[in-house]
Structure 1
Amino acid sequence: MKNPEFTGFSRRTLIQGSVVAGTAGLMLTRPQPASAAAADFAEVTPLWPAPQTAESPAITPPLAALVLNKAGFGPRPGDIAAFNALGGDDAARLAAWVDQQLNPTGSDPAVEDRLAALLLSSEPADQAAYDTIDKTAEQLWTDHARSSDWQTRNRPVWQMERLTLLRGAYSQWQLREVLYDFWFNHFNVFGREFPTSGMMPEYDRQMRQHLFGNFADMLTANAKTASMLYYLDNYANTWPHPNENYAREVLELHTLGAIENYYGPVDPGTVGNNSKGQRAGYTEIDVFQFARALTGWAVSDTTDGSPDTGAFIFRPNRHYNFSDGPIEVMDVTINSPGGGESDVTDVLDYLAGHYGTARFIAWKLCTRLIGDNPSEAIVSSTADEFYNRRFDNDQLKEVYRHVLLSSEFQTAWGDKVKRPIETLVRAMRAADVDFTIRLDDNVSNAVFGRLDDTGQYPFGYEPPTGYPDEREMWQGSGALIMSWRAITYMLRQSSLVNLAEQTNTGIPAVNDRTPDNIVDFWMDRALGYALENAVRDRIVQFITDQLSGAAGSPINTDTTNTGSSSTYQRIIRAVVGLILMSPDALRR
C-alpha cells in the first residue's frame, strides 16, 4: 500500500510492455518491422543457432583477448601484441594494462582527430555534426531543451548517441567506455524526453567526471542534474504534496538495492543492524521519509520567479516544514528545519557509505566484469574494498582494480554474451573500420536504424533499471539476427572498409589464399584467438561450398582482384561476419 500522503507512482509501474520475453529468450523494446530488407541477408546466412544455455565454452581465449573483450569492446589490429608487450608474464601484463586504463590522460587522439577533421570539412552538415557536445549546461537548456523545434531539441542526444559508439570503437581508453556504459545504466535516464534529449552532453560530462572518483560525489552530482530531476519527477516533489518516485529509485536502484536490503512495509524499529552497526535495510516508511527530505530540490525554470537556466535549485518554500515531526531515514534523523539542501546530502552521504550499498554495487560490478553468477567470495571482497575506501577520492578506481586483478576476472569466460551495441562496436574494431559516425550522414543513420531494431540503442531504455546485462536477455534469435544485419550492412560499405587490402602484412599471399588460410588469418585478426575446430571447419566449408573448390587449394576465383565488388571481397565480408557472429565469438 502506498501512503496516501504521496502522489505519483514508481516509474516502473507505469511502463508496461517495454520489454517482452519470447520463448527463445528474445528481449526487445519495440516490435520488429515486418519489412526487413532481404538484401541485408543476401551475403551471409547464419550457419548455427544461437547458444541457448550457459554451458561451458569449448575454448578459453588467451588472457590478452579475454581482457580486451571483457574490460573493453574487443581488440583492434595490434591491440593483442601491445597487451603482450606490457610484461614478461600474464600477471605483469594485466597489472600494467589495468594501471594504464585506470589513469586515462585528458587526450584521446583517435577520437579527437576524427571530431577535429569534421570541423575542417567544407560541408555545412559535417561542420555541425558534433556542434552541441561542448556546450555548457545553460546553453544546452536555452538552445535545445527549451526549443519549440523537435529537431533542435533532439539534436544533442542524437549527437551523443553517435559519439558514444565513436568512443567505443576508437578510444584507447576502453575500460573507461565500458565503465561509462555500466554507470549510465545504473543511473539510467531515457534520452528521448524533456529535458534529457537537449541536456545529454551535460549528463554525459558529469558522469565521466566521477567515473574514477568517489561514489558519494557521483551520487550527489547525479541527483542535481536536470535530466534526473525530471526523469524521476523530483522537480515536482513539493510539500505538502510530495512525490516519492526519485526517493524510491535512489534506494532501490542507485544505492541499497531491492533484494538484500529492502524490508517492505514493516516498522523500521523491527529491522536489525548489519555487521557494521548500521540499520540493516530500509522500509516503505524510509522511502516516504526520504521523499520528504527531497521536497524543494528542483530545476531553475521560472517557477517562483527563478531564472530559466536549467540549473539545480533548492526551493525552501516548497521544502518539508517539519509539521509532522522529524525526518528519519534509517540511521539519519533531521529534527528541525533550517538544513534545507543538506537534509538531502546528509542522507545521500549516509546511503553512499552504507555497507548494503557496497554489497549491491559490488555485485553489479562483478556481474558486469566477471559473469552473471559471481562467487560470494569476490562479491564480499569487492564490497569490503568499496566500503573501506568510502572516504577516498579514488574509491571507485581502486574498486575496479580489485575486480580486474582478481583470479575470477582472469579465468571466467563465456558466462555472458555481448549485447547488440557491444557486438557492433566490437565488429568495427575487429574490421578496423574507418568510419566517423556522425549526424546528417546516410551511412551512419542506416547503421543506427539497424541498431535500433536489435532492442538496444544508446540512451533508449525507458525504465530506470537500465538495459539488462544478463546473458539470457540477449541470446534470442531476434537480437542476433538484427545485430547480424547491422554488421553485414556496415561491412558492405566500401567507403568504410576494404577487408582485403587494409593490412599489407600478414594477409595470405595470392597463391596461399586457401579457405583454411583465409579463416585462420581472420580468426587471429578479428578475435585474437582461434575458434574451436568444429566452428572453424564450418566456416572453411562455407567458403568451399561457395566456390566449389577444395579446402586445401587456392579458392576458385581471381584473388588478385580485391575491389569492393569483387567475388573475393564478398567472400571476405561473409567470412568476417561468420567469425564475429559465431556463438563462441559472442561470449564475454
Structure 2
Amino acid sequence: MNLYRKKHHPASDKNLPPKSIGPVQHKATPAFNPGTAASMTQVPSQLRGGIPTPSLTHRVLSKMAFGSNQADLDHISGLGGASEMDRILAYIDEQLEPDLLDDSVVDNMLNQGFQTLNKTQQQFFQQHVHIPGGGDIPWDVHIQPGRETVYATFIRAINSKRQLQEMMADFWHNHFNVYMEGDNIQPMFVHYDRDVIRPEVLGNFRNMLYEVTRSNCMLSYLGNGVNEQSAPNENYARELLELHTISAANYFGHMPWQDVPVDGQGRRTGYVEADVQELARALTGWSFSGASWQDYQYLYNPPINPNLAPTGLFMFRSDWHDQGIKRVMGTDFLYDSNNPEKDVNDILDMLAEHPATAQFLALKLCRRFIADEPPQSIVDQVANTLQQNWQASDQIKQAMEVLLKSNEFLSTWGEKIKRPFEKLISALRQIEYGFSFDPTVEYTNWHHWGFMDSGQHPFHWTSPNGYPDYKSHWLGASSTMSTWKFIQWTSRFRDGHNGDVPFNQIVEITKTAFPNPSDRTANNMVDFWYQRACGIIPDSNSQDKLAKFMSYQDNTTPVGSDRNTPIDLDSNDWPGYNQERLFAVVSTIFLTAEFSYR
C-alpha cells in the first residue's frame, strides 16, 4: 500500500468541481454578489449585552437537532398540548424513542448507489483490506466504506426525523474518536459507525465501551491490536482512562496508588501512572485477526489456503496476554483461564460504574447541549442518573431525558455556537437541500472535498480527544470563512446534468410563504427568511442592507429600488437574476451571528 498516497491525497484523487465552473453554470454573466455581507456579520464572541431570544421551538431544534426545517415545525405544532412547552416536551419524548419514528425517506436514500453499508465486518476486511489469497485492492475500493459512511452521515443529519439520535451519534463518535484516515480504518468504518457506536447512542455506556474495546478501528488507531505482554502498549489504556471514562481531571500523576483519595464507598477517586501501566497489561492480547504479521504467513506456505486469511474480527491472543494479577485503581483483577476476557471485563465494569465516569460523561453531555460551562447542578443530576442506572439498557436515554427537560436546557440561548458541520447542516435543512449524496454521482465527491477545509469534516479529527466543543475554538477566520464559502456554494449549486435545476428549494419555499405574487417584495422576503433561519426578526441595519440588495433590478447598476415592489421569482434572466439574488440573500443570512447561535 502506498502510505504517502493514503496520508496526503494527491490532487488526482480529489474529484473537485473545475475552478471555471461555479454553482451557476448556465449564465454568461455572473450573478451579482452582495457587497455588504461583511458589514452584516459579527463574530459571536464580540457580542455583549442581551441577545434576542427566539421561540422555544426554534431554540430546542437548534440545540437538540441540526436546526429546524418546515416539516419539523409543522409536526411540533400539531402535537397535543395546550402550550408550546407541552408540545416541546412531547417532541422530546418522541425523539427519545427514535425506533418508533418513521425514517423511510432516509432508508430509501441510503439505497441509492451505496454498496457497502450492509456488508459484514469480515467482508469489509476481506474485500477492502486484504483479499484472501492476496491481490491488489484499488485505492477507491480500499476507502469506499469510509467515504460511504461520510455520505450517509450527511444524508441522516439533513433528512432524518430522528434528529436527537443523529446528534447523539455525533457526540459519541467524538467521545470515542477514531481518525478515519488512520491505517486500514476507512475500510472498516461502516462497521465502527453501524455496529459499535449507533446501537447504544441512547442505550448503555458499558455496552458501547465494550464494543469500542473490541473494535478493530479503535484497536488499530491506538495500537492495541499489537499489544502483547513482552512490550505492553500503553496508548489505548491511557485514553481509556483519560478520555473515555475517569477523565484527565482525576489523574494524580506518579503518586503512589495507595495515596489516591477514596470516596465514601471505598473507591479510589482517580488514577495514577501505575494504573495506566496495569491496564495496558490487562489489555495485552486484545487484538483482531489481521493485526499481526503472523496472520499473513499463510501466503508463504504453498499451497495457499484462502480459508486461513485474516478476517478482521476480534481475536483474543492468549499467548500475548499477561496472565498475572493487575491492580487498577486499588483493585486486583485476576486472570481466569476458563474466561480469559474476565479481567478486562471486570475492569470495564469498575470504570463504567465509577462516579468519576458518570460525572465526566455528564459534563460533556451538558457542555454539548447547554453551555461551555454548564451549571454544576444539572451536571450532577445527569451524572447521578448515569451512575445509578449504569447497568440499565436505556441508561443514556434516562440521562438525556433529565438533561433535555431541565430548565437549564430549555431556557438557555446563545451559550453555544454551531460548529462548522452543524452550521452547514442547519443551513441545508433550512433550504430543504435536495442533493442525494449518491456515491456514484460525481457531485458527491465535490461536496466531500469542498467541506474538507471547514475544520470539522466528519471523522477527520486526528487526535483521540475528538472535535473541540468550546466556542473559542471555532471563531478562527480560516474555519469560519471556509464554512461560509461552502454554505454559499450549496445555496446556489445546480444540477448541471439535469437542466441546471437548483438543489435548494428557496424559491418554492418563498412562493409557499407568499402565495400572492404581489406580496413577494424585498422587505417581505428578507423578513421571512431571517425569521425562518434565525428565529427572530432582523435588526434594522441588517434588514436595510439585505432588502436594499434584494431590490436591485440590474446587477450592472446596483441601485436599490422600491423595497415594497413585487419581484418576479419565476424570472432569473439578465440583468436582474431575481432567483440568484434571493439565493444570495438567504446564504448571507446564514453568515450572521444570529444564525450561529445554539
How does 1:15-30 map onto structure 2 within 5 Å? none
Equivalent position of 1:372 in the other structure? 372
Which SS does the other structure have where 1:328 is aligned?
strand
Distance in 2 (alpha carbons) for counterparts of 1:59 and 1:435: 33
How does 1:9-48 map onto structure 2 within 5 Å? 43-44=33-34, 45-47=37-39, 48=41
Equivalent position of 1:134 in the other structure? 118
Over 4 Å off, 4+ runs: 35-42, 302-307, 544-547, 557-560, 562-566
Distance in 2 (alpha carbons) for counterparts of 1:233 and 1:526: 44
TM-score by length of 2: 0.85
The 8 Å contact of residues 51 and 414 in structure 2, kept in 1 or not, is answered as no
Distance in 1 (alpha carbons) for counterparts of 2:150 and 2:429: 18
Equivalent position of 2:242 in the other structure? 252
Q: Deviations over 1:393-445 (max 9, x none)?
A: 11000001110000010111111111111111111110011111132423222
Which SS does the other structure have where 2:589 is aligned?
helix
Q: Give the residue type in structure 2 aligned to 1:579.
A: I
Distance in 2 (alpha carbons) for counterparts of 1:381 and 1:104: 23
Which SS does the other structure have where 1:333 is aligned?
strand
- Say yes or no: does 1:112 pair with 2:95: no
Equivalent position of 1:187 in the other structure? 176
Give ranges in structure 1 of 5+ residues lacking alignment.
1-17, 19-32, 119-128
Equivalent position of 2:208 in the other structure? 218
Distance in 2 (alpha carbons) for counterparts of 1:385 and 1:565: 62
Equivalent position of 2:597 in the other structure? 587
How does 1:117-516 map onto structure 2 within 5 Å? 118=112, 129-146=113-130, 148-205=137-194, 206-259=196-249, 261-301=250-290, 303=292, 308-322=310-324, 326-335=325-334, 338=337, 339-494=339-494, 495=501, 496-502=503-509, 504-507=511-514, 509-516=516-523
Q: Deviations over 1:439-459 (max 9, x none)?
A: 242322222222101111111
More displaced stretch, 299-308 vs 275-284:
299-308
Q: Deviations over 1:74-110 (max 9, x none)?
A: 1112322322332222332222111111111275112
Distance in 1 (alpha carbons) for counterparts of 2:186 and 2:574: 38
Count of matched residue positions in the alignment of Structure 1 and Structure 2? 540
Which SS does the other structure have where 2:475 is aligned?
coil
Equivalent position of 2:529 in the other structure? 522
- Residues 563 and 423 of structure 1: CA distance in aligned 2, closer, same or farther (over 3 Å): farther
The 8 Å contact of residues 213 and 396 in structure 1, kept in 2 or not, is answered as yes
Distance in 1 (alpha carbons) for counterparts of 2:19 and 2:474: 20
Q: Give the residue type in structure 1 aligned to 2:233.
A: N
Which SS does the other structure have where 2:455 is aligned?
coil
More displaced stretch, 53-62 vs 151-160:
53-62
Which SS does the other structure have where 2:229 is aligned?
coil
Distance in 2 (alpha carbons) for counterparts of 1:550 and 1:566: 12
- The alpha carbon displacement at 1:272 in A equals 1.1
Give ranges in structure 2 of 5+ residues lacking alignment.
1-7, 9-15, 24-30, 132-136, 296-307, 495-500
The 8 Å contact of residues 106 and 156 in structure 2, kept in 1 or not, is answered as yes
Distance in 2 (alpha carbons) for counterparts of 1:448 and 1:314: 37
Which SS does the other structure have where 1:453 is aligned?
helix
Tell me the C-alpha RMSD between the 2 structures: 2.5
Q: Give the residue type in structure 2 aligned to 1:139.
A: Q
Q: Give the residue type in structure 2 aligned to 1:253.
A: L
Distance in 1 (alpha carbons) for counterparts of 2:70 and 2:170: 23
- The alpha carbon displacement at 1:177 in A equals 0.4
The 8 Å contact of residues 363 and 379 in structure 2, kept in 1 or not, is answered as yes
The 8 Å contact of residues 206 and 349 in structure 2, kept in 1 or not, is answered as yes
Distance in 1 (alpha carbons) for counterparts of 2:193 and 2:448: 20
Q: Give the residue type in structure 2 aligned to 1:554.
A: T
Equivalent position of 1:12 in the other structure? none
Q: Deviations over 1:561-583 (max 9, x none)?
A: 25799611011111111112211
Q: Deviations over 1:236-270 (max 9, x none)?
A: 110121000000000000001101x1111100100
- The alpha carbon displacement at 1:386 in A equals 0.8
More displaced stretch, 362-371 vs 474-483:
474-483
Q: Give the residue type in structure 2 aligned to 1:425.
A: I
Give the alignment partner of residue 568 of structure 1, picking from 571, 578, 582. 578
Give the alignment partner of residue 80 of structure 1, picking from 73, 84, 100. 73
TM-score by length of 1: 0.86
- Residues 302 and 70 of structure 1: CA distance in aligned 2, closer, same or farther (over 3 Å): closer
The 8 Å contact of residues 46 and 578 in structure 1, kept in 2 or not, is answered as no
The 8 Å contact of residues 215 and 352 in structure 1, kept in 2 or not, is answered as yes
Q: Deviations over 1:108-144 (max 9, x none)?
A: 112112234x2xxxxxxxxxx3100110101111111
The 8 Å contact of residues 225 and 286 in structure 2, kept in 1 or not, is answered as yes
